[in-house]
Structure 1
Amino acid sequence: MNLPNKLTILRMILIVPFVACMLVPGLGDAGMYASVVIFIIASLTDLLDGKIARKYDLVTNFGKFMDPLADKLLVASALICLTAQGRLAAWISIIIISREFIISGFRLVASDNGIVIAASYWGKFKTTFQMIMIVMLILNFDHEVYQICAVIITYVALILTLVSLVDYIIKNKDVLKEQK
């Protein structure tokens, strides 16, 4: 197993301590800071595994499938934890997670037809803002300016989520046409 795939597996493994630090009662600030550190490390493995795989020609079918799955599991876990803690409205989590299912479905149909749907710039911006949003919502500093920034970042992430969804659908609408 190559390094990028090991990083992908590490990202999935890190979800367990991340969720534990988010949800185990009584951890207080230590749990909050630990969950932020774990989330940032897991997010950085996403950046690293792709760069390493492309730079050293280590792209594998395992990586093509598991890397996006690991990303979705990490983000969905964070959104669910934040919703459970009352820091993120459920409807926002539902929209973001639904977008991920829709795009995954598109990719599966495309793959079945021998088409690869690459990540778009909108998708990359969306991911960046979602990661920033998650970190800000976990930290949840009790300062008016911080709270306003967190709300703004949340809505920017939500808008980018929807824009990237529409972009994927428009660019890949032919994938939905029946194949002969």
Structure 2
Amino acid sequence: MIGQPPGVEPPVLNLANMLTLLRLLLVPVFVAFLMTGDGHQAQWRLAAAAVFAVASLTDRFDGDIARRRGLVTRFGMVADPIADKALIGSALIALSLLDDLTWWVTVVILVRELGVTLLRFWVLRHGVIAASRGGKLKTLLQTVAIGLYVLPLGALLPAAVHAVRWWLMALAVVLTVVTGLDYVLRALRLRSQGLAATRAVTGAR
């Protein structure tokens, strides 16, 4: 791995963090394309889908680059999930406003994502809650399902694809709830361990 000397945090302005910032900057562009006109014009939906795809790819690469090149920073640990939530959240809200996605799905996912983000901040001084395999699969399902909802499928693909995206979103919602509960348990465990370590150090003085 190419990285910084042990104990030295990499500079905040690095390739991985720049990709994270790019994802944040693409969020308003994506929403603007998706909501242009009546929100159902094929050319703007395709443009929005393209921007969403690019933004989602930055999520795939920024973490890999940070780990492979030793560019993991506290800023990246905090900014990366915020960028993810901003992209997914804005997409869900926009789709619900356009009546393409039922509001209860959006509310369930947003409550979970906001809750997990707050949990990360709550236990940040004790450590970082790493993304689980279930969480990564949840994100993948959400991304694919949202991408299919953004595409103007009514004009391009048969009704069977509508069923596929519905089932993908349903699976994403189930994983969203299950992994959310897992994050709560992990956060409580991490905080408990951190407090115990603090008491041990304090008592040893």
TM range (shorter): over 0.9
Residue by residue over 1:45-94, the C-alpha shift from the partner in whole angstroms, topping out at 9 and shown as x without a partner, is: 01111111100001112111111111100000100110011011111101
Question: Are residue 80 (structure 1) and residue 97 (structure 2) matched?
Answer: no
Partner of 1:110: 123
Q: Deviations over 1:152-173 (max 9, x none)?
A: 1110110110111122223333
Take 1:175 and 1:67, find their aligned partners in 2: how far apart are those partners?
Answer: 20
Aligned residue type for 2:110? I
What is the TM-score normalised by the length of structure 1?
A: 0.93
Whole-angstrom distance in 2 between the partners of 1:110 and 1:171: 10
Indicate conservation of the 8 Å contact 2:42/2:152, yes or no: no
Specify the alignment match of 1:5 in structure 2: 17
Shift of 1:140: 4.4
In the alignment, the residues of structure 2 paired with residue 136 and residue 116 of structure 1 have an alpha-carbon distance, to the nearest angstrom, of 32
Equivalent residues in 2 for 1:1-180 (5 A)? 1-25=13-37, 28-112=41-125, 114-142=126-154, 143-175=158-190, 179=195
Kindly provide the amino acid, as one letter, of the partner of residue 144 in structure 1: A
Deviation at 1:174, TM superposition (A): 2.8
CA contact (8 A) 1:8 1:46 kept: yes
Distance 1:42 1:94 in 2: 22
Instruction: Look up the equivalent residue of 1:174 and give its one-letter code.
Output: R
Percent sequence identity over aligned pairs: 35
1:107–1:37 distance in 2 versus 1, CA, 3 Å: same
- Sort the Cα spacing of 1:59 and 1:101 in 2 relative to 1 into closer, same or farther, 3 A: same
Q: In the alignment, residue 87 of structure 1 is paired with which amino acid?
A: D
Corresponding residue SS for 2:124: helix
Alpha-carbon distance between aligned partners in 2 of 1:87 and 1:176, rounded to the nearest angstrom: 40
- Native 8 Å contact 2:129 2:186 kept in 1: no
Deviates more, 1:97-106 or 1:37-46: 97-106
Give me the whole-angstrom Cα distance separating, in 2, the residues matched to 1:175 and 1:156. Answer: 28
Structure 2 gaps, min length 5: 1-12, 200-205
TM-score (norm 2): 0.82
Q: 1:26 to 1:106 in 2, by over 3 A?
A: closer
